[in-house]
Amino acid sequence: MEPLAPMRLYTLSKRHFVLVFVVFFICFGLTIFVGIRGPKVIQTSAANFSLNNSKKLKPIQILSNPLSTYNQQLWLTCVVELDQSKETSIKTSFPMTVKVDGVAQDGTTMYIHNKVHNRTRTLTCAGKCAEIIVAHLGYLNYTQYTVIVGFEHLKLPIKGMNFTWKTYNPAFSRLEIWFRFFFVVLTFIVTCLFAHSLRKFSMRDWGIEQKWMSVLLPLLLLYNDPFFPLSFLVNSWLPGMLDDLFQSMFLCALLLFWLCVYHGIRVQGERKCLTFYLPKFFIVGLLWLASVTLGIWQTRIGG
């Protein structure tokens, strides 16, 4: 028995199909154009510091540039220059000490964790040494940061060190806010139109695609994250955690939808919850749990 609720997809003419694909490729082309001509995502700047020339490396103190919430995150990376032949290949692990202090607007120094962190880093050199991530802050509470780095345990002849600050470009952050706002509004309009078109039909008469769309569209609205501007207004890791949670929910729900649809092509009979849906929920649920845990951990801890 065919579902009573009609599907617009089955009644589209060739002209409508062509129009849908034209609109899709126009939107896709606009996103590519904005990605090419738009502002860079990451901006870099050299860190100012003084390297002690003594045989024993003393902790290096580095002060960041003035920051704002539009910088979103902060990375400090380092490229080590060794005083040896370029043909020599080295791969060694060493403990590195890192201490991060926040500088408030009035110039006072605030201790973030009030302790020195020990980080194990791997130095790989093959002619030129690979870049090392010294510190990463997932959200910014202060206008400036002071990072004290210790390389005392690196037992290699060091010729120089090049530290680099990396943050999100404020121009890209503003563009991201407007993009997300546009797609939040667009998704909300589409969701309302979809609900309005099915208001006359009982849910029992909906097709499997219509039932899934009633779930995916609200999740798509959350995927575009209507709470994203809060990350620029609130000094907290909570908005970033919500963004990770919403993205994981939508992507895992989309994966579950395709698994059910493609498996449903083979299973033409009754789809029992225990044998048809439960294994898929279990597999996708593990992926969702892993992605949420990793995303929240990366946002909260920062690295």
- pLDDT tens sequence across 69-88: 899 889 999 988 887 766 67
Least confident of 5-14, 70-79, 108-117, 192-201: 108-117
Q: In terms of Cα–Cα distance, which of 172, 121, 141 is closest to 74?
A: 141
Residue 130 one-letter amino acid: A
Could you give phi then psi for residue 267, rounded to 5 degrees?
Answer: -95, 100
**How many residues in the chain?**
303
CA distance 101 to 176: 29
Alpha carbons 11 and 13: distance in angstroms, whole number: 6
Alpha carbon distance 271, 265 (integer Å): 11
* Secondary structure letter of residue 15 according to DSSP: H
pLDDT at 126: 81
- 50 is written with which tokens? 């003084």
pLDDT over 50 (residue 241) = yes
Residues ≥6 apart with Cβ < 8 Å to 10? none
In angstroms, the CA 254 to CA 272 distance is 20
Cα 73 from chain centroid?
Answer: 11
The contacts of residue 24 (CB under 8 Å, 6+ apart) are none
Tell me the pLDDT of the chain averaged across its residues: 83
Nearest C-alpha neighbor of 72 from the set 168, 176, 172, 180: 168
Calpha distance 101→113 (Å, rounded): 8
Contact (Cβ atoms closer than 8 angstroms) between residue 79 and residue 162: yes
CA distance 252 to 255: 5
Return the pLDDT at 1: 46
Q: What is the pLDDT of residue 254?
A: 93
Angle, nearest 10°, between helix axes 208-223 and 170-197?
Answer: 150
- pLDDT given for residue 107 in this prediction: 56
Query: What would the two tokens of residue 175 be?
Result: 């563009």
In this structure, what token pair is assigned to residue 69? 């919430």
Say what percent of the chain tops pLDDT 90: 23
For the CA atoms of the chain, what is the radius of gyration?
Answer: 26
